[in-house]
Structure 1
Amino acid sequence: MFRARNDQRLPFGTRNGSTTVTETQHTDVVLVGGGVMSATLGVLLKELEPGWNITLLERLDRVGQESSNPWNNAGTGHSALCELNYSPAAADGTVSTAKALNINEQFQVSRQFWASLVSEKKVPNAEFINAVPHMSLVFGEKNSQYLAARYDAFKREKLFERMEFSTDPAKIWEWAPLTMQGRDTDEAVAANFSPEGTDVDFGALTEHMVNYLTAQGVEVRYGQQVTNVERESDGTWTVTVKNRLNSEGHTRLRAKFVFLGAGGGALHLLQKSGIPEGKGFGGFPVSGLFLRNTNQATAQQHNAKVYGLASVGAPPMSVPHLDTRYVDGKRSLLFGPYAGFKTNFLKQGSLLDLPLSLRLDNIYPMARAGLANMDLTKYLIGELRKSREERLESLHEYYPNAIGDEWELITAGQRVQVMKKDAKKGGVLQFGTELVSSADGSIAALLGASPGASTAVPIMLKLLQQCFPGQFGRWEPRVKELVPSFGTKLNENPQLADEVMAHTAGVLGINN
């Protein structure tokens, strides 16, 4: 389908007298954004079509510095082992495993892909992932009954067969001592424990993949602010780029396929593309704060990601959790998140991002979604009013003996929740990711947040199937080499599940 075109290339930043010449350069694929999504898609395309020319554009001076940065997310290998929002109780008290199973299946796909990168020496090591058990922890009799029902439903599923349940304080102390030290012994408490959980440094993983892409001839440009995306008469796309590092004017890149993987910044670019499929989408930004503890004496006492229940009205991304983190080889603790609100769509974005995203086609859906989520508005107002003492009080619920002076408040990543048209409700707020592509598959954008990075591989494989249906059949054998279970549900194939999970655990060094 693609053939590299190197005509009309001019030296970068060429000037004509005193005026900067606007260049038009040609490539096959443009990836906008240097996060884990673009990196994943870039690696897949290089494996499937080595001859294609790919250009990756990043507005900052390094890749993986927005949502993929380890301090801008919880680093959880989201596999629904501990996230209770994936398995809410029905009115009759029963718990469905369907959504959690889907999330776990997706994470297993990512895990297989990462293991293939390590075993094929495409990334130098597996230090970006560590074995960290996942736990769910609840308080009170009613919540304990719910967790017991959840365990009863999940223990029959192959992907959750190692999950344990306990209401015994001594056993929970064994799993996560800090959560029990200083706790009232009369308090009803219950926990699920899954030893196969992980902590992932998505920033390090992104850097590894981009380094591999660079070695394969992919051009990675830093300081590149994409200012426009427009379709040409021949169906190709022109991406207009401003150099933020040296102000050398604008460059135009002509490409046959464009991926908008710029996190919150993807919405503006999707709108500029003008494709009908992008109409009606809006975004609601929510920033996150965490308490961080880098005291090694304390951090070494805790090796788990402990998730609780979200507050009423809180979005799923605001579920409280006490996490073990491994960043740059050091263990730390994070607790949060505490929600905040700013109108920028990226952490290093502009406060004008939200108002500039308003369009005639999305104002009504956004208004309807907002009216239907007033509890979220009340929650955010409450979070913004919280003092440090109140934040520490939340920490003490999960770590009673926490010493406040050991914890610093850090600003984490910026998430943009998707708001979109809905035939019945007018507009809805969506807490997952949304893959939007043109009818001809020549441009695609990824909107939204959680579970995000953990399911980057299945999301990008879905993109390839959606945008390149004609080529995917030819690509599938290589896809199955990278992801052996591709097209198969591991939960429904116990023997394959055992083989795949044992292999990936061994290659990634996460046997537990």
Structure 2
Amino acid sequence: MNTCIENPDVVLIGSGVMSANLGALLKRLDPALRIQVFEAADELAFESSNGWNNAGTGHAGICELSYTPKREADGTVKVQKVIDIFQEFEQSLQFWAHAVASGMIDNPKEFINPVQHISFVQGADEVDYLKARYAGMSKHHFFAAMEFATDRAKIGAWAPLLTEGRDPAVPIAATKMDGGTDVNFGNVSRKLLAWLGSQEGCSVLASTKVVGLRRAEGGVGRGHRTPPSLEKQAGYGDPALQKTQSASWHVTTRNSKTGEERTVTTKFVFVGAGGGSILLLQMAGLPEAKGLGGFPIGGHWLVCDKPEIVARHQAKVYGQNLPEAPTMAVPHLDTRILDGKKTLLFGPFAAWTTRFLHRTGSWTDLPRSVKPHNLATLLKIAATNFPLVKYLLQQGTQSMADRMKVMHIFYPNAKAEDWKLVDGGIRVQAIKKTDGEAGIVHFGTEVLTSADKSMSALLGASPGASVSVDIVLKVIKESFPHLITSPRMAEIVPTYGTDYRAPENAAVFAKLALEARRRLQLV
């Protein structure tokens, strides 16, 4: 639907993977909901969710070493975080599988494909670390199929580019699982939004920037009605729920092509605008956002399209992050399927920027975000993260030869003439008052929700897109608690509500996971 919904029940700002999943889930759980999506750019899901602007790794904790700390004093590696992430990613697979099976979306190979996930290290200390990581992970049923190797021939059989031309005197190790995925989050977002926009009472509008976001005086706007599911829910008369449902927001938008402005009133706003979320939260004057700031980090990839090289690497290979680099800049050599063809990406390489969004951002974004309430926080982080600032400046001035030195850690025989540098989008690292000296390099994905549950916003970075369904289910639980207990949940996300990390649930999990992967054509 291309016309704006008058006084929708839900407004989603941004057309990325978070908004797409949230909108689709809400509509499946309550078909009577009226949902409006606003996207500032002319195209949908072309910022952080765009396939070229992220690694496309279905982050399931399999190969990402940044999710597991170094060895403990007793030599072990804590692996609980990767177990948690694996279960969270499974929620995404389950919902997308339901979307395919129910006809919401089609052709899953256009957005998800199987690819082995490999962790790769070199040097005696790193080999010992990876062995300990493998020992901890392989005990859990999620990772029972993981393999560990130090033998060069075996590692070379998994990924020949890793071993050819490598110094035989340096010990190496790798782990591998064949159950990994490559995901085009932009494509799955556009598919879900196409379905959502075709539903009664729903609209998805591009070229429509939110220029005003303020609380409505006296509650919901004129003409706003309560969805039937809210009217029917037990306890709707509770004072706490009445407070939530009476809150509302005026959302003013401007069409970038016609200049037309329009204001709608809604009961719930989700800010899924990527880097633009910081400025929108400041516009809304949300008390919970006081002291919140943002630090933008640009990115670049090295890309290889040569068929003879691409054909020899069928994996996503992650290593250790470089000194001073943020966790979002952990180097990896990835098989990608983008624009209908297979390619190789290496990176990302960070870059200094003051823009919060790649397509619709401005160099003034960072200066405009500095307010009296977050100035002290930003100054503190700057003072305690000088090595990160130095790293970003160094990254932005790198030559091709500098970048190839990093690639040679993974692919010793790589030649500069086989690779080209492309833009990798922008990530805005959220900075909170509670961030201490550890600072922004350790801040992950988080949802900020207003006290009255009428607004939620996504902040942070990895593993965000991969666990988007789990994240938005938490949003629904907070702001639409009557929907999270719907009997439909068992059909829409079969794994929701059960802890499949527990050993006693391993057999049931295996059955559900296999069915989802069959629907997604991964097996």
**So what's the TM-score if we normalise by structure 2?**
0.90
Residue 83 in structure 1 maps to residue 93 in structure 2: no
- Aligned position for 1:484: 494
CA separation of 1:152 and 1:427: change in aligned 2, threshold 3 A: closer
- Residue 209 of structure 1 and its aligned partner are, at CA, apart by 0.4
Question: What code does the residue aligned with 2:339 have?
Answer: D
- Aligned position for 2:198: 215
- Aligned position for 1:199: 182
- Aligned position for 1:242: 254
**So what's the TM-score if we normalise by structure 1?**
0.92
Instruction: Give the gaps of 5 or more residues in structure 1.
Output: 1-10, 13-22
Q: Secondary structure of the residue that 2:488 maps to in structure 1?
A: helix
Question: What code does the residue aligned with 1:63 have?
Answer: L
CA separation of 1:94 and 1:346: change in aligned 2, threshold 3 A: same
- Residue 429 of structure 1 and its aligned partner are, at CA, apart by 5.7
Residue 158 in structure 1 maps to residue 137 in structure 2: no
- Aligned position for 2:424: 412
1:71-470 pair list within 5 angstroms = 71-92=52-73, 93-127=75-109, 128-217=111-200, 218-233=202-217, 234=219, 235-247=247-259, 249-348=260-359, 349-422=361-434, 430-469=442-481
* Equivalent pair of 1:158/1:494 in contact (CA under 8 Å): yes
Structure-2 separation of matches of 1:424 and 1:430: 10
- Aligned position for 2:45: 64
Q: Secondary structure of the residue that 2:300 maps to in structure 1?
A: strand
- Residue 63 of structure 1 and its aligned partner are, at CA, apart by 0.7
Structure-2 separation of matches of 1:473 and 1:323: 36
Q: Secondary structure of the residue that 1:491 maps to in structure 2?
A: coil
**Identity across the alignment (%):** 43
* Equivalent pair of 1:24/1:252 in contact (CA under 8 Å): no
Question: What code does the residue aligned with 1:487 have?
Answer: G
Question: What code does the residue aligned with 1:284 have?
Answer: F
| Length, aligned pairs only | 488
Q: Secondary structure of the residue that 1:458 maps to in structure 2?
A: helix
* Equivalent pair of 1:133/1:197 in contact (CA under 8 Å): yes
Point out the more displaced range, 249-258 or 131-140.
249-258
- Aligned position for 1:53: 34
Question: What code does the residue aligned with 1:505 have?
Answer: R
CA separation of 1:474 and 1:397: change in aligned 2, threshold 3 A: closer
Runs of 4+ in 1 over 3 A off after TM superposition: 423-430
Question: What code does the residue aligned with 2:380 have?
Answer: R
- Aligned position for 2:17: 36
* Equivalent pair of 2:354/2:365 in contact (CA under 8 Å): yes
Structure-1 separation of matches of 2:21 and 2:163: 40
* Equivalent pair of 2:210/2:252 in contact (CA under 8 Å): yes
Structure-1 separation of matches of 2:443 and 2:489: 29
Q: Secondary structure of the residue that 1:361 maps to in structure 2?
A: helix
Instruction: Give the gaps of 5 or more residues in structure 2.
Output: 220-246
Structure-2 separation of matches of 1:297 and 1:473: 49
* Equivalent pair of 2:473/2:484 in contact (CA under 8 Å): no
CA separation of 1:427 and 1:155: change in aligned 2, threshold 3 A: closer
* Equivalent pair of 1:34/1:63 in contact (CA under 8 Å): yes
* Equivalent pair of 2:316/2:333 in contact (CA under 8 Å): yes
Structure-2 separation of matches of 1:473 and 1:369: 38
* Equivalent pair of 1:365/1:426 in contact (CA under 8 Å): no
Structure-2 separation of matches of 1:423 and 1:58: 31
- Aligned position for 1:16: none
Question: What code does the residue aligned with 2:192 have?
Answer: M
Structure-2 separation of matches of 1:364 and 1:70: 36
Deviations 1:83-121 (A, max 9, x none): 001111244132001111111110011111111111111
* Equivalent pair of 2:5/2:35 in contact (CA under 8 Å): no
**In angstroms, what is the RMSD of aligned CA positions?**
1.8
CA separation of 1:33 and 1:24: change in aligned 2, threshold 3 A: closer
